[in-house]
A and B are shown apart, each in its own frame.
Chain A
Amino acid sequence: MDLIQLQRQLVDYRTSLYHEGFLDEQFTQLQSLQDENNPDFVVEVVSLFFEDSERLLNELSKALEQQIIDFKRMDAQVHQLKGSSSSIGAHRVQKLCIVFRNYCEVHNVEGCLKCLQQVKHEYGIIKTKLESMFQLEQQILNAGGSIPV
C-alpha cells in the first residue's frame, strides 16, 4: 500500500474510533500534546494506560473471587480505572466504570461480576484498536511519511 493510502486509512480508522464511541476528545488532546520534544508521547501515555488498567483489572478479578468481597476497595479501584481511562479518552471503558461503581455501592455481586466482564471486554477492544492504529502510524513513518492530524 502506498503512503497516501496508508495515511488515508489511518484517518478513516481514527475517525471511526471516535464515531463508534471508543475514543473521545481527550484522545485528541493527547495528540495535540505530542511535539518534537515528545514524538512518542501518545504511545507512551497509552502504554502507561494499558499497564495500569491491566493491573487494576487483575485486582478487580481477584477481589470478586474472595469469600468476603471488599466493595469499598473495589470501588476505589474502579474509580482509579475510571480516572485512568479518562486520561486517554477511552470512552466506553470510562462509562462502564460508572455503572460498575454503582454496583459496588449497593454491594451487588452479580452486577459487579457482569460489569467486570464488560469492562474487560471493552478494554480488550480498545487495546486492540489502539495497537492497530499505532501499527498503521508506524508503517506510515517507515514509509517516510508523516502522521496526518
Chain B
Amino acid sequence: MVLAESGFSSPRNDAFPAGLRVLVVDDDPTWLKILEKMLKKCSYEVTTCCLAREALNLLRERKDGYDIVISDVNMPDMDGFKLLEHVGLEMDLPVIMMSVDGETSRVMKGVQHGACDYLLKPIRMKELRNIWQHVFRKKIHEVRDIESLEGFESIQMTRSGYDLFDDGHFLSGDDTTSGRKRKDADNKHDDRELSDPSSTKKARVVWTVDLHQKFVKAVNQIGFDKVGPKKILDLMNVPWLTRENVASHLQKYRLYLSRLQKESDIKNSFIGMKHSDLPSKDSTASFGPHKAMNMIPDDVPNGTYSFSASNSLAQNVDLKGQGDLKGITSAPVAEPKGALSIDIHDSHEANSTQMSFDHSLGSVDSAVSFASFNSTTPLQYPWTEIPEIQFKQECEPLHLENGFSQLPLPGPSMIENEANRSRIEVKPLLDESRSNFVEHLGPVGAEDLFPIQSKSQSLNNQVFDLISATKSSMKTQDVGLNYLADSEFALRNLNASGVGVPLATLSEDLQICWLQGDCYPMNYGLQDLECSTYDNPALMAETPFHLYDVLR
C-alpha cells in the first residue's frame, strides 16, 4: 500500500524543513498510520509503504522524489538492513531505522549498515521532528566532499567528463541525485565552489592507484593501529598532498575496512562459496596484465593492514572459514583502497560515496573482503596477488549486494560468487551497460570512469548512466580497462583480452562486485571488452581510486 501524501515536489528550501519528503516503510499497519500522522504534523510530505520492495521501487522511480527514508528493521519481504543498504547505495539517501527491539547489537547493526539514526518504538513526535537534520547534514557533507576530492587530474579530464562527475552522471543527460544534491548544496552553500571544475581554484586530490598504494604502504609501515595522517603524509612523501587530504582518505579507508570486516563476518556463514568458478580466468589472465600494470607491488605490507584493526571496528569479524581468503584479501585490498576513498568519505552518513559505513554495504557482503584480510594473507594488491589467492574464499564475502564486497574483487571466483548472489540485480545492468560502458569510457577517459567507486550512490548512479548512455564500442576498451582498474576488473579484463577467457564470466563477476544491490553496473564494460585489447595496463593502473574521491 502506498499512500502518497501529495505529489512529488521538491522540498521548499525556504520553508525547510517543512515539506521534507519522507518515505516511511513499515509492515505494521498500525505504526504506519501513526507515523504518517506524526510526520504530517511535522509538516512533512509523507509517503507510506508497507513492503520494502515497494519502497525500493518507489525510490527508484523517483530518484529525486524523497529526502529521507524511515524504515522498520523487521519486515516480511526484505530485511530492513538490506533495504538500508540498497537505499544507501543506490540513492544515497539518509535512512532512519526503527524497531521495537532496542538491543544494542541491533542498533549497532543498524549503524554499521549505514543508518543515520535508530529509533525505538514507541516513537515520539519530538523524535520525528528532528529527522531533517540528517538530510541537512548529508547535504553539507556532500558539498564538502566534492570540494575536497577534486584533484588536479580531474581538472584535466574532459570538461564533459568532469561535468559528468560533478553532476554524478556520465554522459547521460539525466540529472542524477548527486547532481541534484550538488545543486541543492550549492544553493545552501553558496560560498562553496562546486561548479565548473575549470573554475575551481582548489586543488583536488585524485587518489590514483599509485597514490593509494603509497598510502596503504605507509599505513602498513606505520601500523594500522598507530597510524595518523601526519605520519602517513610524511612517509608518503608526496609534496603536493596535504595532511587534510590524507586524513580524509584515511577516514574513508578505515570505514571501508571495517565494513569489509563486517561483511566477512557475515560471509563467514557463507563460507564455501564457490571459489571454483573462475578457473581459468583468474589464474592466468589476470596475472599477465597485472604485472604490466604497475599495480601495487608486493611490498604492500600485508599483515599490517589492519584488517585486524578493522576488525576491531567490525566487531565480529568472523573469519572462520577464511583460511583461503588469502587470495581474496589481495583483491579486495586493491579495490577497497580505491573504494575506500569513496566510502570512507566522511564518516558520516552523507556522502554519496559513502559506501562504507553508512550504507553498510557491508551488512552482508562486505564481509568478504574483510574476511580475507583477516585471514592471513597479506594485503597485497590484487593485481599482484591475484593469481593465486583469492579466489579461494573470497567468494563469499564478495556479495555484491553489499556493494562493498566488491571491493575485494580479488578473484573471479569471488566475483562469481557474488555474482551468483547478486546476479539478479546485476544482470539488468549488464545488458545495458555493456555497450554503454565502453563508449562512455572513451570520451571521458579512463580515469573518469572509475565507476567502481560506485560505492557512493552518486557514483553508482553515474555509472549507470554512464553505462547506459554509452554505446558499446570496443575501442573504449582501454577505457574500460581503466575502469576496471580496480583490481578485479583489471584482472578480468586482462584475462579477457589477454587470455581470451570468456568475458562473460568476468563481466558477471564484475557486475557482481560492483553491484551492490542494484546499482552497480560493472559488467557492462567487461563484456564488451572481451574482444578488445587490454594492452593498456597503464590505463588500468590508474585512477580507480581517484574516481572515488572525485565522485564524492
Contact = CB atoms under 8 A, between A and B. Distances in A.
Asked if A and B bind, the verdict is: yes
Interface of A: 26, 29-30, 32-33, 38, 41, 44-45, 48-49, 51-52, 76, 79-80, 82-84, 86-89
Interface string B30-66: 1101100110010000000000000000000000000
Contacts, number: 54
A87 B30 contact: yes
20 contacts: A26-B122, A29-B124, A30-B34, A32-B125, A33-B37, A33-B38, A33-B125, A41-B37, A44-B33, A48-B29, A52-B29, A79-B100, A80-B74, A82-B100, A83-B72, A83-B74, A83-B99, A86-B100, A87-B31, A87-B34
B101 interface: yes
A89 B122 contact: yes
Contacts of B100: 79, 82-83, 86
A29 B31 contact: no
B159 interface: no
> Which 8 A/B pairs are nearest by Cβ-Cβ distance?
A83-B100, A87-B30, A26-B122, A48-B30, A49-B30, A86-B122, A87-B31, A33-B37
B74 A87 contact: no
B37 A84 contact: no
A85 B34 CA distance: 12
Contacts of B122: 26, 29, 86-87, 89
Given A38-B37, A41-B37, A48-B33, 19 more contacts: A30-B34, A33-B37, A33-B38, A45-B34, A48-B29, A48-B30, A79-B74, A79-B100, A79-B101, A80-B28, A80-B74, A83-B74, A83-B100, A84-B31, A86-B100, A86-B122, A87-B30, A87-B121, A87-B122
Contacts of A41: 37
A52 B28 contact: yes
Interface string B95-122: 0000111000000000000000000011
Contacts of B28: 52, 80, 83-84, 87
A44 B38 CA distance: 15
A26 to B, nearest CB: 4
Given A33-B34, A52-B28, A88-B30, A83 B41 contact: no
A85 to B, nearest CB: 9
Interface in B77-109: 99-101
Contacts of A49: 30
B329 to A, nearest CB: 34
B7 to A, nearest CB: 19
B33 A45 contact: yes
Contact of B31 (A44, A79, A83): A83
Interface SS of A by simple majority: helix
Interface residues of B, number: 19
- Greatest chain A CB density within 10 A among B37, B99, B100 is at B100
A50 to B, nearest CB: 9
Contacts of A80: 27-28, 74
Contacts of A33: 34, 37-38, 41, 125
B33 A86 contact: no
B41 to A, nearest CB: 7
A7 B31 CA distance: 29
Nearest to B122: A26
A90 B125 CA distance: 18
A39 B263 CA distance: 48
Nearest to A44: B33
Contacts of A76: 74
Which of B28, B99, B124, B125 is most buried by chain A, counting CB atoms within 10 A of its CB?
Answer: B28
Contacts of A30: 34
A21 to B, nearest CB: 15
Nearest to A32: B125
- Among A32, A41, A83, max chain B CB count under 10 A is at A83
Contacts of A26: 122
A118 B161 CA distance: 66
Nearest to A101: B101
Nearest to A49: B30
